[in-house]
Structure 1
Amino acid sequence: FVLRFVIKMSSNSGGLERLKQKLNRNIEDGNHYEAHQLYNTLFYRLGGKNLHSEAQDLVATGAFYLFEHKKFGSAAQLCLLYVESLENHVRVVDGKRIDILGKMHATMPKELPELEAFESRVINWSLNIPESPKRGTRNLRHKFAMNYWEEKLYEDSRYHFLYSGDGKAFAKMLIEFAGYRGRPEEFDLFLTQAVLQTLCLNSSDYFDDCTVVAETLFQSYVELNPKISLKRPFAYPILNFLYFLLITIKKKHLPTFTFLCEVYQPSLRRDFENIRYLEKIGQEFFGVKSQSAKPGFFENLMQNLFVDDTPEPQDVKTTTSMTEED
């Protein structure tokens, strides 16, 4: 039995070696189609021997080779094989694999149909790793965000930055995004939505430090944006709202939170999504019950938030006396 096992392994190893030699010849001759087929065959042969790490390295090398020669569909198919192997055999997200996946994502043309499946499967794989965040590994999200930003695909970049934990890079991208795509009077809304959405992530158990990320995002945006003077109160009311909101969250002081929502109603009404974000923030940080429960003062306030016509004070004097020490 031992002899037969050794002979079988020797025969199989020789078969793999012949396939590898054939692959190298096709690469040298520029036979991309044949090379692609051999990458597939070798991947499954290696996997059948439980040589999964070698199989992953093989198809990653093949994908980059085919990308280099503009065989994008074939290269993307090898990328998906790489992800398939991770899904089935890898239970840790390490730096090497993050770098490979980030490079695959960067190299893959963003109009390629396989990109969506690749991105979705990579994120799902990472979030199913024990002790991983519910929205996927931050470093992977950061790679994807930076790749999209590089290609000026701001909406996609924004989506991944939200889960990356990098408030400063997120702010830089948003400033550029607002300059390219936003109307001049809306640049403050780009920041407002991002800060409120980041604060909402606390309830999804994604960020333990979502308030720190939100503060970094806010501070970086106002410091780096040439349209904003750092002198407080800010010239833009909703920036004052965000500034005081972040202080109030630290203090977990519900009356101040509801006061801010009342005072800044006109600014908050500029984006109807704000009510949903503020409801979630109220529940997470201030213990406000969901609207499905019996309505109270805060719920009534939020229900009326976008129908009140009270003008907002121009100089916001009613709130600028609040300081972090108050």
Structure 2
Amino acid sequence: MQSFFEKITSLFSLMSPASPEREVFVQSALKWSVKGTDYKTGHPDLHQKIAQVFWREKNYIMARQHFIHSRDGSGCAAMLVELHEQRGYMNEIDLFIAQAVLHGELAVFTILCNRYQISLNRDPYYRQYLDKIGQLFFNIPSPRPRNQGLFGSLLQSFFNGLEDDDSDDEQRNTASTSHAAQELD
């Protein structure tokens, strides 16, 4: 099977990174690689080889995505260090490493969020990202909206009023349609 993975990644590396067929090729190869296995997202060895191709191309985002599904923790760490050196600030190394470990079990996710809260608070968008990760991967309900002040409350009331008007119109349309249908009978 390894020789097939090498052939697949060799073909993959020859394809232009801008080619839309490339993504279809990868998805088809990963789907094929799970046949007869217990893997759901693709064989980890194939993910590793694909990640290495993306890494050579300096496509760190896609490399990280495939490394996470591989069993190559040291390769993933080395790529994250390079990503940090290329695109990060010296004081952000913990954030780059945290990216790779935030997808797992809910208990681990919660512990990591609490443990690295000081680091995560440096960027206000991280809270939003973590909320979204919690919703998508762990079925955590979305956070309740915070007090938005007078203007925010007015806007919310306005939008709620529009939704109520829409539902009233919908009920009237349903009622008039059923009344018209009865008259035709």
Shorter-chain TM-score bucket reads 0.5 to 0.7
Give the structure 1 partner of residue 117 of structure 2.
Answer: 265
Give the structure 2 partner of residue 123 of structure 1.
Answer: 30
Where do 4+ consecutive residues of structure 1 move more than 6 Å?
Answer: 278-281
Matches within 5 A, 1:57-206: 94-127=1-34, 129-197=35-103, 199-200=104-105
Instruction: State the shift of 1:144 in Å.
Output: 0.5
CA deviations on 1:7-31 (whole Å, 9 max, x unpaired) are xxxxxxxxxxxxxxxxxxxxxxxxx
Rounded Cα–Cα distance in structure 2 between residues aligned with 1:185 and 1:278? 25
Instruction: State the shift of 1:103 in Å.
Output: 1.0
Instruction: State the shift of 1:274 in Å.
Output: 2.9
In angstroms, what is the RMSD of aligned CA positions?
Answer: 3.3
TM (norm. structure 2) is 0.62
CA deviations on 1:243-295 (whole Å, 9 max, x unpaired) are xxxxx96xxxx9xx49x82x7533333322234556889x7xxxxxx655xxx
1:274 is aligned, of 124, 130, 147, to 130
> Structure 1 153/133 Cα, relative in aligned 2: closer, same or farther at 3 Å?
same
Rounded Cα–Cα distance in structure 2 between residues aligned with 1:264 and 1:138? 28
Instruction: State the shift of 1:109 in Å.
Output: 2.3
SS in 2 for 1:111: coil
Structure with the larger helix share: 2
Rounded Cα–Cα distance in structure 1 between residues aligned with 2:40 and 2:56? 26
Q: Where do 5+ consecutive residues of structure 2 fail to align?
A: 148-185
Rounded Cα–Cα distance in structure 2 between residues aligned with 1:119 and 1:131? 18
Matched residue count: 141
SS in 2 for 1:96: helix
Instruction: State the shift of 1:165 in Å.
Output: 1.6
> Structure 1 291/155 Cα, relative in aligned 2: closer, same or farther at 3 Å?
closer
Rounded Cα–Cα distance in structure 1 between residues aligned with 2:6 and 2:19? 20
TM (norm. structure 1) is 0.37
Q: Where do 5+ consecutive residues of structure 1 fail to align?
A: 1-93, 204-247, 284-289, 293-301, 308-326
Choose 1 or 2 for highest CA Rg. Answer: 1
